[in-house]
């Protein structure tokens, strides 16, 4: 059997090698840094890369292991963070030229927790400006190049750099944020796993906000087990984020991740999630039901009208638009709205023009829908749907004009944002490819605070298939131009 190249190995595989002494954290970091320097000139996934800082952290990790200070399965594993997440001493630009001098004074809570778990930071990944945008376009810092096609295709947003970095084998895990799909969309389009955590499970302290109602932090990884490892290290209450009050101090999602799906009640959520979905995408996702049924799950269909109602209630994104405008209001006293990326400007304008009555009415409607959704899912352990309506499209087509962008943006986020509005947990896993060789994602949704079941279903599906082991041909990206 041919050994999997170092850059395509999962966290679990790398961790075993680090702990048995056949791989050092320094060797791993140096390998990945060299790969980034070879490929990222074309991929453009990283905003900031500090070789000296990364290598120093890897050396410290290696010395700790030699001294018997083993921090666990994540010890010595490199990771990247979306450039909305604070790292002490580094700029957090949030994808905008307006924040080039915004140097973080402290680490975000998630960075601190991953450091405590032994992980080492490789760099900061690009993002859509201020996290506004599902296709993944950024006109200030450039749009990362989806690794699955030599012609620029959209990477998905807003965690565009995180999706490309993991999808291209530049780093085994990258953190993203998800307000309406911003972890799951790039994960699906770039062929990786992406976990949208329930708001309240993972602290957002030190993360540049888009919407305090919907923002969550989650990992993009090469496998479901990797996502579980990183999620477990990040989660838990934090006095710096009031949304985490009442969250259990400890949660073990790893012990049960391999328990299989026999006896679980799974269902395809019909109606909205399948309307106007690309035929190849729909076919690939429907086939997942057969795989899971053959593994012992009870697979059925449910109408779940709450999905359509959630989309209608917050169809224009009024909640996140208002909350984002409030976050930027002071800054807008110093710069013009026109100084923002055009794909952000129209959303910010919506937040400025919305009335308090519109905002509060939408919040109340969504809260009522959340309660109804919990009741509707009482007899279902998880539901299945396509992560996105379409696979990655050529960037030139999506970004030909602002009107084109406005058309495609909801076609990438419609299915994912249902989970944010209804307070669900969601996991996307690779489940096939289009005839053009572009990845397709299966979305597994569970009730809020039930990450364990989403990970269990995703892991079982993943172990029965090989989609997550497929890798893109990046010969075009390594060519010197």
Q: Which of 15, 61, 82, 96 is catalytic?
A: 82
Averaged pLDDT for residues 455-473: 98
Q: Is the pLDDT of residue 304 over 80?
A: yes
Question: Is residue 95 in a domain?
Answer: yes
Q: Is the pLDDT of residue 61 over 80?
A: yes
Q: Is the pLDDT of residue 177 over 50?
A: yes
- With the C-alpha atoms ordered 225, 229, 231, 235, is the resulting torsion angle positive or negative? positive
Question: Is residue 196 in a domain?
Answer: yes
Question: Is residue 41 in a domain?
Answer: yes
Q: For 333, which DSSP code?
A: G
Tokens matching residue 246: 């009442």
8 Å CB contact between 409 and 175: no
Q: Which residues of 271-296 are buried (b: 16+ CB within 10 A; e: fewer)?
A: ebbbeebbebbbebbeebbebbeebe
CA 213, CA 87: separation in Å to the nearest integer? 23
CA 375, CA 305: separation in Å to the nearest integer? 12
What is the domain count for the chain? 1
Q: Which residues of 80-98 are buried (b: 16+ CB within 10 A; e: fewer)?
A: bbbbbbbbeebbbbbbbeb
- Express each pLDDT in 369-399 by its tens digit: 999 999 999 999 999 999 999 999 999 999 9
Question: Is residue 79 in a domain?
Answer: yes
Question: Is residue 479 in a domain?
Answer: no
Count CB neighbours of 67 within 10 A: 8
Give the pLDDT of residue 345. Answer: 84
Give the whole-number percent of the chain exceeding pLDDT 90.
91
Q: Which of 45, 61, 96, 158 is catalytic?
A: 158
Residue 2 confidence class, pLDDT cut points 50, 70, 90: low
CA 420, CA 218: separation in Å to the nearest integer? 13
CA proximity to 77, closest of 85, 65, 87: 65
Residue 481 confidence class, pLDDT cut points 50, 70, 90: very low
Looking at per-residue confidence, does 348 or 69 come out higher?
A: 69
Q: For 17, which DSSP code?
A: H
CA 315, CA 233: separation in Å to the nearest integer? 34
Residue 479 confidence class, pLDDT cut points 50, 70, 90: low
Give the pLDDT of residue 63. Answer: 97
CA proximity to 479, closest of 8, 41, 44: 41
CA 182, CA 190: separation in Å to the nearest integer? 12
Domain CATH code at residue 441: 3.90.1300.10
CA 262, CA 294: separation in Å to the nearest integer? 9
Secondary structure element (H or E) that encloses residue 49, with its range = strand 46-49
CA 343, CA 135: separation in Å to the nearest integer? 10
CA 335, CA 25: separation in Å to the nearest integer? 44
Q: For 283, which DSSP code?
A: H
Residue 349 confidence class, pLDDT cut points 50, 70, 90: confident
Question: Is residue 1 in a domain?
Answer: no
- Express each pLDDT in 140-174 by its tens digit: 999 999 999 999 999 999 999 999 999 999 999 99
8 Å CB contact between 121 and 78: yes
Residue 337 confidence class, pLDDT cut points 50, 70, 90: confident
CA 266, CA 301: separation in Å to the nearest integer? 8
Please say if 82 is a catalytic residue: yes
CA 2 to the chain's CA centroid: 30
**pTM given for the model:** 0.97
Give the pLDDT of residue 146. Answer: 98
CA 143, CA 360: separation in Å to the nearest integer? 35
CA proximity to 206, closest of 53, 348, 81: 81
Q: Which of 182, 203, 216, 243 is catalytic?
A: 182
Give the whole-number percent of the chain exceeding pLDDT 70.
99
- CA neighbours within 13 Å on the CB side: how many for 309? 14
Residue 310 confidence class, pLDDT cut points 50, 70, 90: very high
Give the pLDDT of residue 44. Answer: 98
Give the pLDDT of residue 185. Answer: 98
Please say if 182 is a catalytic residue: yes
Question: Is residue 275 in a domain?
Answer: yes
* Domain housing 135: 6-472
CA 143, CA 156: separation in Å to the nearest integer? 10
- Express each pLDDT in 68-126 by its tens digit: 999 999 999 999 999 999 999 999 999 999 999 999 999 999 999 999 999 999 999 99
CA 2, CA 338: separation in Å to the nearest integer? 54
Give the pLDDT of residue 122. Answer: 98
How far from each other are the two terminal CA atoms of the chain, in whole angstroms? Answer: 35
CA 253 to the chain's CA centroid: 18
Averaged pLDDT for residues 198-203: 98
CA 54, CA 69: separation in Å to the nearest integer? 19
Please say if 243 is a catalytic residue: no
Question: Is residue 481 in a domain?
Answer: no
Residue 268 confidence class, pLDDT cut points 50, 70, 90: very high
**Range with the poorest average pLDDT among 215-224, 256-265, 342-351:** 342-351
8 Å CB contact between 210 and 317: no
CA 256 to the chain's CA centroid: 23
């Amino acid at each position: 059997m041919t050994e999997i190249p170092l850059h395509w190995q999962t966290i679990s595989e790398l961790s075993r090698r680090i702990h048995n002494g056949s791989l050092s954290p320094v060797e791993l970091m140096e390998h990945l840094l060299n790969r980034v320097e070879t490929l990222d000139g074309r991929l453009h996934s990283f905003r900031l890369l500090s070789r000296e800082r990364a290598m120093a952290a890897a050396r410290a990790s290696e010395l700790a292991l030699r001294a018997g200070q083993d921090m666990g399965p994540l010890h010595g594993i490199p990771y990247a963070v979306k450039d909305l997440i604070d790292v002490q001493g580094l700029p957090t630009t949030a994808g905008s030229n307006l924040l080039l001098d915004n140097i973080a004074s402290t680490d975000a809570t998630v960075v601190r927790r991953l450091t405590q778990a032994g992980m080492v930071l490789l760099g900061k990944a690009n993002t859509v400006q201020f996290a506004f945008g599902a296709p993944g376009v950024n006109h200030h810092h450039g749009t990362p190049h989806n690794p699955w096609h030599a012609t620029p295709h959209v990477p998905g947003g807003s965690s565009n750099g995180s999706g490309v970095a993991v999808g291209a084998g530049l780093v085994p895990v990258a953190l993203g944020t998800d307000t309406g799909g911003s972890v799951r969309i790039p994960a699906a389009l770039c062929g990786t796993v992406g976990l949208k955590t329930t708001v309240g499970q993972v602290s957002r302290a030190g993360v540049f906000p888009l919407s305090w109602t919907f923002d969550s932090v989650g990992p993009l990884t090469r496998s479901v087990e990797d996502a579980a490892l990183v999620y477990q290290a990040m989660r838990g209450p934090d006095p710096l984020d009031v949304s985490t009050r009442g969250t259990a101090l400890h949660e073990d999602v790893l012990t049960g991740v391999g328990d299989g799906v026999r006896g679980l009640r799974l269902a395809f959520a019909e109606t909205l999630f399948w309307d106007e979905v690309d035929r190849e995408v729909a076919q690939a996702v429907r086939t997942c039901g057969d795989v899971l049924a053959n593994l012992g799950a009870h697979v059925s269909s449910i109408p779940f009208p709450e999905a359509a109602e959630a989309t209608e209630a917050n169809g224009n994104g009024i909640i996140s638009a208002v909350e984002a405008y409030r976050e930027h209001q002071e800054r807008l006293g110093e710069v013009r709205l026109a100084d923002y990326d055009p794909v952000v400007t129209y959303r910010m304008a919506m937040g400025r023009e919305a009335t308090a009555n519109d905002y509060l009415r939408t919040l109340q409607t969504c809260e009522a829908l959340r309660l109804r959704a919990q009741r509707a899912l009482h007899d279902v352990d998880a539901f299945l749907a396509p992560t996105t309506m379409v696979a990655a499209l050529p960037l030139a087509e999506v970004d030909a004009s602002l009107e084109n962008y406005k058309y495609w943006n909801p076609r990438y986020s419609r299915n994912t944002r249902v989970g944010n509005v209804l307070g669900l947990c969601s996991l996307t896993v690779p489940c096939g490819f289009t005839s053009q060789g572009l990845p397709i994602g299966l979305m597994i949704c569970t009730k809020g605070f039930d990450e364990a079941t989403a990970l269990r279903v995703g892991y079982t599906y993943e172990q029965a298939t090989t989609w997550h082991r497929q890798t893109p041909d990046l010969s075009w990206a390594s060519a010197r131009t």
